[in-house]
Chains A and B, each alone.
Chain A
């Protein structure tokens, strides 16, 4: 039996600075584990360092590259993440996973909505689908300011194939948004794709407002998927830290449809 609680070693093979407090790390597991590694965008890894424990991070690389490597984005938010951000190429991280249920396979037009570093797992969805001719993709990126934006060096490239909307809370973003504002403002003023499936990831406080805008535009709750964050230790629905109602974010999520959330949770658990 494979021991799901035993961390495997993963070498940092690239480190890309996004801003002062956030780096993306490209990781490669020791052989033969990387060759067998699989994830679906939206699933998460437990990533840690000896002496600092581990925490949940979603993968942001194209899942078709998972035999070679996978990427995670790490923002400094505590002791472990500060320590990870000090590491460099050649250093090791210790990982378990992938765990949970990711975003469903995309079979129709896709809208992705990312708030802050919540854009990380959506990048994996984007990379997996961006070259498809059978669907259209629209992306909304909301962030505090230019300094906290993720993957902005890819924007020019992505714009060749998708509708990209970027909006900042503190300043306009020349070329992409003339006014400052929230991601909900961008959604409200946009012409959304026809009959889309919508994937959202960001701070939980943003979900209620985003869902409201989407429903005003006629998108059904079963077509809106949200990714949730909770404290996690085991990743397998045992340790109880991530429980909401009768579900475990680690096992039943972290991605849930709005319909599922409304059907299964009380208002005091999930306010949508």
Chain B
């Protein structure tokens, strides 16, 4: 199917939803709210930011204290469509759906969210990701939560998949009948946790004494940019703010790199070194999430590397952890080089 044939579908969505999609802004692809089909970037480039701020707002009102009681707030109920979401961000969405499965605020927002995934094939430098990401098997879509997925083929012949009854309804509305139904069979493949996830779990789980963490203790400045950029980071704080009629209680994105993240009454801080903080971050993604959900905690989008002021490259860190000799210094440093400009080499 040619793009022109499904353009109408996106235009229908634009008329009914607040649509967020990747946009090319002077050479930089970012997720933004869009008003027209032509604004959307269909190059398949991984956007600099994520859809996270729509799925899980950075600052979300939970309750309002008015006249002596906390009252529930009605969440912003406007329906939202996330359009052009790549397969990695779709995987991150799957994690959020599991993490927030009992969160009434998330569920209410998610209930009204339409997901249109898009793949432009595998990026040229995808082999770099494969180093630590599980193999992209053909049946990956049956483990993802989406309404419609469009896969662009090399000959500009697009394949359309429907992943839900809602997706089918919209395809019918757009008079598209050439599509394949994919039945969601759960987030975890029937044969169990993908081997790559298990292998990485083992690599990170017992690595606390590995020299790499001491090195990162010196190079990482614990700024937390990676946690903001990461599509799977979801730590939060609850914060009270005074309002002229009372107090508003919100939840805000947090970061395990912040000093007060783990401190308790009396001042004790459990993550009291950068080493412990960055290890905690890796442990969450590669051990705790797989243990809890049998699901990947890192989708290998490399956004953390792209935003890191110290140039810490997650791929290289994980490669270092493969070293049998834990104390051996690498021939090349895990950070610094190959940063940004060089990353496509």
Contacts and interface: CB of A to CB of B under 8 A. Distances in A.
Given A5-B63, A6-B62, A246 B240 contact: no
A240 B256 contact: yes
A176 interface: no
B72 A266 contact: no
Interface in A43-70: 50-55
Nearest to B235: A240
Contacts of B68: 9, 92
A268 B239 CA distance: 30
A230 B292 CA distance: 20
Given A9-B68, A50-B240, A92-B68, A246 B265 contact: no
B28 interface: no
Contacts of B266: 77
A245 B205 CA distance: 9
A256 to B, nearest CB: 15
A7 B262 CA distance: 23
Contacts of A243: 280, 284, 288
Contact of A3 (B72, B206, B283): B72
Contacts of B292: 246
A260 to B, nearest CB: 14
A52 B238 CA distance: 10
Given A77-B266, A230-B262, A245-B288, A239 B208 contact: no
Contacts of B284: 240, 243
Contacts of B260: 231
- Which residue of A50, A75, A78, A239 has the most chain B CB atoms within 10 A of its CB atom? A50
A234 interface: yes
B207 to A, nearest CB: 10
Contact of B62 (A5, A52, A78): A5
A231 B235 CA distance: 13
A51 B247 contact: yes
Contacts of B265: 55, 75, 77-78, 81
A50 B264 contact: no
Contact of A53 (B239, B261, B263): B239
Interface string A156-190: 00000000000000000000000000000000000
A77 B242 CA distance: 23
B164 to A, nearest CB: 22
Interface string B236-271: 111110100011010100101000111111100010
B242 A51 contact: yes
B234 to A, nearest CB: 7
Nearest to A30: B69
A22 B309 CA distance: 46
A5 B288 contact: no
Nearest to A81: B265
A131 B102 CA distance: 40
A241 B262 contact: yes
A203 to B, nearest CB: 9
A238 B100 contact: yes
A119 interface: no
Contacts of A53: 238-240
Interface of B: 62-63, 65, 68-70, 72, 99-100, 102-105, 107, 206, 208, 234-240, 242, 246-247, 249, 251, 254, 256, 260-266, 270, 276, 280, 283-284, 287-288, 291-292
